[in-house]
Structure 1
Amino acid sequence: MADYQTVRAGVSGVRTAEIDAGLRAHMNKVYGTMSVGMLITFAAAWALSGLAVTTEPTQYQIGQGEYLTGLGYALYASPLKWVVMFAPLVFVFGFSAMINRMSAATAQVVFYAFALTMGVSISSIFLVFTGYSIAQVFLITSIAFAGLSLWGYTTKKDISGWGSFLIMGVIGLIVAMIVNIFLQSPMVMYAISMIGVLIFAGLTAYDTQNIKNTYIAHAAHGDQEWLGKAAIMGALNLYLDFINMFMFLLQLLGSRE
């Protein structure tokens, strides 16, 4: 009996070690995919903002000696701006609905395409805010995100109950932001930004724990294709948490041109 117990404990220990190693690899893939997506987004936003502004006089002046190019006018001043603004939202809902029909490789390519679309959508930040304040807020967001994600990964507290509350908060934020497009109220925007930071801070911890728990629950099945797609979805969730927290903090802390 003692020998059996020893063997069983040894097998259990080996299995636990395999899951731990697999979890580390899974989380590395999640963070790695997310980081590449972030790089694509900000590179696209920076490059596009450079193409949107000229010193040559045009019909649309945005600052002292600065004018929008034809591309800039189409993106930021014509009705096309609404398409650019809401395209990422449509993209992410479509991606979430169709990912089960994709291979893991296809899902990764689509995620990077989404990151590029998001870069186009937020490119106007380089026209509105100073480069220094964008870099400063990005650093603040990175530190906050790292701390929140680490806490979500290591905490023994079950925070799965936060999910429904936080998702309802996101829906409320979207509605409030749409309404404020017409109201143009600075106070409402300030309140939205404050609440938005808190909601996506909570989602960062929640999503990190959920990614970890999802892997542990399914690791025994050994379905690498499913786990690959789960890593892409995890990267998408954390990417959205970071981008939204960054955008709301930029509204609060950013210095405008």
Structure 2
Amino acid sequence: MAQSDSRYTQATTVGRADVDAGLRAYMLGVYNYMAGGVALTGLIAYLVYALAVTTDPSSAAASLPSGKMLTAFGVAIYTTPLKWVLFLAPIAFVFFFAFKAATMSVAGAQTSFWIYSALVGASLSSLLLVFTGTSIANVFFITAATFASLSIWGYTTKRDISGWGSFLFMGLIGVIIASLVNLFTQSSAMNFAISVIGVLVFAGFTAYDTQRIKDVYYEVAGSAEATAKASILGALSLYQDFVGLFVNLLSLMGNRE
């Protein structure tokens, strides 16, 4: 929860300049971890895709309607029940991460964050089968600009937006439930609505989480270990916001193969 008063009362005991310098270093650490996670996700997504798709007809195990040819590895992870393992593994791991976060060491939290980012990358590799590379790149830069603007606003605003949390969480649950239903109905209208609501939810979470992460600093500033762990957990939140925003914008704006 945001605690607006702590931003000012803590400053009187520690010193405004010290707090500002520490806060800048802390937030820089959050953004560095988050950017590293996004980069690792993109790299893993591309590597998995490169292993799954071939241009050599003699080594192809199957072909897609788009004309792309799959290797035996691609057939296994995209067309067999293994695709559900690929899809569900990041979800299962992030729950494990959240459950163990309080007792993890800093090194353990770092390792878990990188593993999670890699699992998400493997899961998102299927997007390269569906959308053109150009549209993925374009939407990525749009997402980056949108994310940066919202995060800066969340960091600099004097308004307490902690009250957004419950509404955003309910919106997220609604998006998840609707997405699961749409796996079976395959409704284009519902997919459009889910994507629009998803963009709004993750846009709100970006600003909300940035302010929350900033406020957490004043609670953990006295402990180097707690601050280091908080920066990793904060990066995880912003990483999830970025990925959610990207996937939903891609669904709305991406050009399909």
TM-score computed with the length of structure 1 as normaliser: 0.92
Q: Is the CA contact 1:56–1:66 (under 8 Å) kept in the aligned structure 2?
A: no
8 Å contact kept, 2:61–2:72: no
Q: Which residue of 2 aligns with 1:62?
A: 64
SS in 2 for 1:158: coil
Aligned residue in 1 for 2:225 = 225
Paired with 1:59 and 1:113, the residues of 2 have a C-alpha distance of: 29
More divergent stretch after superposition (78-87 vs 233-242): 78-87
Aligned to 2:163: 161
Kept after mapping to 2: 8 A contact 1:200/1:241 = yes
Q: Could you say what the CA RMSD is over the residues aligned between the two structures, in angstroms?
A: 1.5
Larger radius of gyration: 1
The residue number in structure 2 matching 1:193 is: 195
User: In the alignment, does 2:240 pair up with 1:240?
Assistant: yes
Q: Write the deviation string for residues 8-50 of structure 1: whole angstroms up to 9, x where unpaired.
A: xxx9497111111110000000000011111100001011111
**For 1:93-132, what aligned pairs fall within 5 Å after superposition?**
93-132=95-134
Look up the equivalent residue of 2:238 and give its one-letter code.
Answer: L
Deviations 1:108-143 (A, max 9, x none): 111001000000000011111111100000000000
The residue type equivalent to 1:56 in the other structure is P
Aligned 1:35-74 pairs, distance under 5 A: 35-54=35-54, 55-56=56-57, 58-63=60-65, 66-74=68-76
Gaps of 5+ in 1: 1-10
**Aligned-partner residue type, residue 122 of structure 1:** L
Distance 1:184 1:64 in 2: 19
Q: Distance in 2 between matches of 1:38 and 1:99?
A: 20
- 1:60: how far off? 2.3
For residue 135 of structure 1, the aligned residue among 137, 146, 156 is: 137
1:70, CA displacement in angstroms? 1.1
Residue in structure 1 matched with residue 8 of structure 2 by the alignment: none
Deviations 1:165-202 (A, max 9, x none): 10111111111111110111111111000000000000
Q: Which residue of structure 1 lines up, in the alignment, with residue 6 of structure 2?
A: none
Work out the CA distance in 2 between the residues paired with 1:175 and 1:89: 14
1:63 CA drift (Å): 4.3
Partner residue, 2:5: none
Q: Which residue of 2 aligns with 1:31?
A: 31
- CA drift of 1:59 comes to 4.8
Alignment of 1:199-218 (within 5 A): 199-218=201-220
Contact 1:204 1:241 in 2 (8 A): yes
Query: Please, which moves more after superposition, 139-148 or 124-133?
Result: 124-133
Distance 1:95 1:232 in 2: 11
Deviation at 1:218, TM superposition (A): 3.0
The whole-number CA distance in structure 1 between the counterparts of 2:14 and 2:80 is 61
Q: Give distance in 2, aligned partners of 1:21 and 1:195.
A: 37
Distance 1:12 1:174, change over 3 A: closer
Q: CA deviation at 1:90?
A: 1.0
Q: Is the contact between residue 61 and residue 75 of structure 2 (CA under 8 Å) also seen in structure 1?
A: no
**53-62 or 236-245: bigger deviation:** 53-62
- Residues 61, 71 of structure 2: 8 Å contact kept: no
Give the whole-Å Cα distance in 2 for the aligned partners of 1:237 and 1:169.
Answer: 16
Runs of 4+ in 1 over 6 A off after TM superposition: none
TM-score (norm 2): 0.92
| Segment drifting more, 58-67 vs 75-84 | 58-67
Aligned position for 1:6: none
Q: Does 1:145 align with 2:130?
A: no
**Higher mean C-alpha deviation, range 63-72 or range 149-158:** 63-72
- What amino acid is aligned across from residue 156 of structure 1 in structure 2? K
2: CA distance between counterparts of 1:147 and 1:88?
Answer: 27
- 1:62 Cα shift? 0.9
How far is 1:223 from its partner?
1.2
